[in-house]
Structure 1
Amino acid sequence: MERLLQNIKTLRLNHCHTELDTLIKKKRTFLDQAKGNFLKFRKIVEKIQDHVPSVIDLDDRVVTVGNPADLDPEASKALYHSLDKLSPWRKGPFNLFGIHIDSEWQSWMKWERLSPHIKSLKGRCILDIGSSNGYYMFRAAAKAPFMVLGLEPQSYFYFQYLAIQKFLKKDNVFCLPIPHDELPKTDHYFDTVFCMGVLYHRPSPVEMLREIHDSMKKGGELVLENLILETRENICLFPRDRYAKMRNVYFIPDYLSMESWLLRAGFINVRCVDVAKTALEEQRKTRWIQTESLKDFLDPDDPDKTIEGYPAPVRAIFLADAG
């Protein structure tokens, strides 16, 4: 976190230096005093040795850092156990010094669905909301952006990112352990904003979209991936209790509703560039998670429905420009 402040002038964020300084000091105090998972995962990452990778490849389906030969057997075993203790690994896959982390999500599938459609990331200021362990940030970093900032409040995801960044040491990649609504106003700073798998967890989606819009440069590009209803009736699904066993799902819009939300929030040139039903090949249980996965969320007698009887997950990627 402190690296962000140290580079505040280079990053051209002087206009919100005071707010970021206050926020980061507050979060540092929290992390230093935190109990529970934050303390548990912080200790794990602190004990990971600072290995130097002989190879780095961020532009492949498997984000690769180092070769097996970079570590002796004892160091490799220690790293494996540390990474295992940071589970569950939702996003990926990663290969760290020969240790293959077969994540729950094959995140490269989403990246390959969206990457042909988005503007070049070269030289851009990028925000990734709900950045998880940084998989998409690292894929974006391979495209020579000016900077990438992730926001990730979940303890295990944030410390997974720190573990990987411990080896990568990407000078232009940063992450704050906060939700989006704690980010200070950045006054039209970002050229590209990724918001993927987040909006349906918000009870006020249009308000969030407005806040995103106001953080972007005019003409900047929003890359929005969300659960969708496959209709064009301007309606939303509002689950009574859970959706696919998730408690915190609020509005799942259809195509016209999503377009209306984006237009109301100030975006223009809204277009849907991809629609994909979530498949078991993309989201599945592996040894790197200890929880249920997609198969457990679907009706065993009808995979087109969730266990609650709602339409099974379909995800759409929308692009929109900040007006």
Structure 2
Amino acid sequence: MIDYSPLYRDLSGTSLQNWLADLPTALERRLTEAHRHGDLPRWQACLTQLPDLLPATVELQQGIQIGAADELSAEQQQALRETLQGLHPWRKGPFELFGVQIDTEWRSDWKWDRVAPHLTLQGKRVLDVGCGNGYHMWRMWQDGARMVIGVDPNLLFLTQFEAIRRYLPDAPVWQLPFTLEELPEPTGGFDTVFSMGVLYHRRSPLDHLLQLKACLRPGGELVLETLVIEGDEQQCLMPEDRYAQMRNVWFLPSVGMLERFLRRCGYTDVRCVDLNRTSVEEQRSTEWMRFQSLPDFLDPTNAELTCEGYPAPLRATLLAKRPE
């Protein structure tokens, strides 16, 4: 069972103190229910097999590198590799633990390098919605955030996060196995809220934007990254069925329409800071994610189209403020 007591202490006396009335019970119930998941015992066994040592070095500025190869014998390093492979598939990263390089499906560091120059996180309380295995949360903390809380209901992602957190036990970085809707009322407790790669999975994108705004203090900032299409502010794509083989994709607006979404939801200072066509170098299959990936989801004769004939993935990052 994950010990969340340090998080509860950190929440005491903050604008999120009201969480203490409901969060411990909700977490206990969720983690108790999680033990019914068929793969969870195997994943948790992987955690117990991780090397029990304090890494001599930790580097989070250019990536996530914990420990060095010479801290383990060749046999221990091979055992570590096999243990981490037991948590396949690794979607977000990359990570390096004691010389074992986890080459994840996504080069999430590339996305962070595009987004980070536009942010100021020093001393801020941050919420990461749909945080996956927490890769970006470690980068947020390294960039100065005083507390980072991520939410994602996926239990494999939570286990991967705990594998990394094992070697950063004092970091004020936490992952909660909930959806945004399952969180206690946030009462505007966060300075910065991230929603990256989530909006297009929402059947009601405006409701999602309103929920995110409710998490922000007055004057707080939203960082929104999502799939978009080219076009004017009247353009939006709703796939007939799948998009790039994903079933749960609902709305891909143009940047102009997305900006209108945000303004209609009451955000101010709305601006697009990055627009990037996802490449097959940024998202692809690896030995750490052996299923199909972006190269399999594009038209084999025209990489500017998905296999369904829609425009290939284009991602925008927008910033917006909750009014004071």
Distance 1:171 1:115 in 2: 20
Is 1:22 the counterpart of 2:25? The answer is: yes
What is the 5 A alignment of 1:153-192? 153-192=153-192
- Residue in 2 that maps onto 1:101: 102
- Residue in 1 that maps onto 2:50: 48
Q: Which secondary structure does the structure 1 equivalent of 2:22 belong to?
A: helix
TM-score normalised by the chain length of structure 2:
0.95
Q: Which secondary structure does the structure 2 equivalent of 1:116 belong to?
A: helix
Q: Which amino acid in 1 is paired with 2:138?
A: F
2:233–2:260: 8 Å Cα contact kept in structure 1?
A: no
- Residue in 2 that maps onto 1:194: 194
TM-score normalised by the chain length of structure 1:
0.95
CA apart distance, 1:231: 0.7
What fraction of aligned residue pairs are identical, expressed as a percent? 42
Distance 2:180 2:59 in 1: 29
Q: Which secondary structure does the structure 2 equivalent of 1:232 belong to?
A: coil
CA apart distance, 1:6: 4.0
Distance 2:49 2:249 in 1: 36
- Shift of the 228–219 alpha-carbon distance from structure 1 to 2, 3 Å rule, reads same
Q: Which secondary structure does the structure 2 equivalent of 1:30 belong to?
A: helix
Q: Which secondary structure does the structure 1 equivalent of 2:167 belong to?
A: helix
CA apart distance, 1:180: 1.3
Q: Which secondary structure does the structure 1 equivalent of 2:184 belong to?
A: coil
Distance 2:8 2:48 in 1: 21
Q: Which secondary structure does the structure 1 equivalent of 2:159 belong to?
A: helix
- Residue in 2 that maps onto 1:35: 37
2:123–2:145: 8 Å Cα contact kept in structure 1?
A: yes
- Residue in 1 that maps onto 2:16: 13
The CA deviation string for residues 80-131 of structure 1, in whole angstroms up to 9 with x for no partner, is 111011111111111100001111111111111111112x111100011111
Q: Which amino acid in 1 is paired with 2:135?
A: Y
Distance 1:172 1:255 in 2: 34
- Shift of the 200–320 alpha-carbon distance from structure 1 to 2, 3 Å rule, reads same
1:11–1:147: 8 Å Cα contact kept in structure 2?
A: no
After the TM superposition, which segments of 4 or more aligned residues of structure 1 sit over 4 Å from their partners? none
The CA deviation string for residues 195-229 of structure 1, in whole angstroms up to 9 with x for no partner, is 10011001011101101101101111111000001
Q: Which secondary structure does the structure 2 equivalent of 1:149 belong to?
A: strand
The CA deviation string for residues 292-313 of structure 1, in whole angstroms up to 9 with x for no partner, is 1110000001111000000000
The alignment yields a C-alpha RMSD, in angstroms, of 1.4
1:88–1:288: 8 Å Cα contact kept in structure 2?
A: yes
Distance 2:83 2:201 in 1: 30
Q: Which amino acid in 1 is paired with 2:247?
A: R
CA apart distance, 1:34: 2.0
- Residue in 1 that maps onto 2:132: 132
CA apart distance, 1:5: 2.4
Q: Which secondary structure does the structure 2 equivalent of 1:108 belong to?
A: helix
1:19–1:184: 8 Å Cα contact kept in structure 2?
A: yes
Unmatched 5+ residue regions in structure 2? none
CA apart distance, 1:155: 2.1
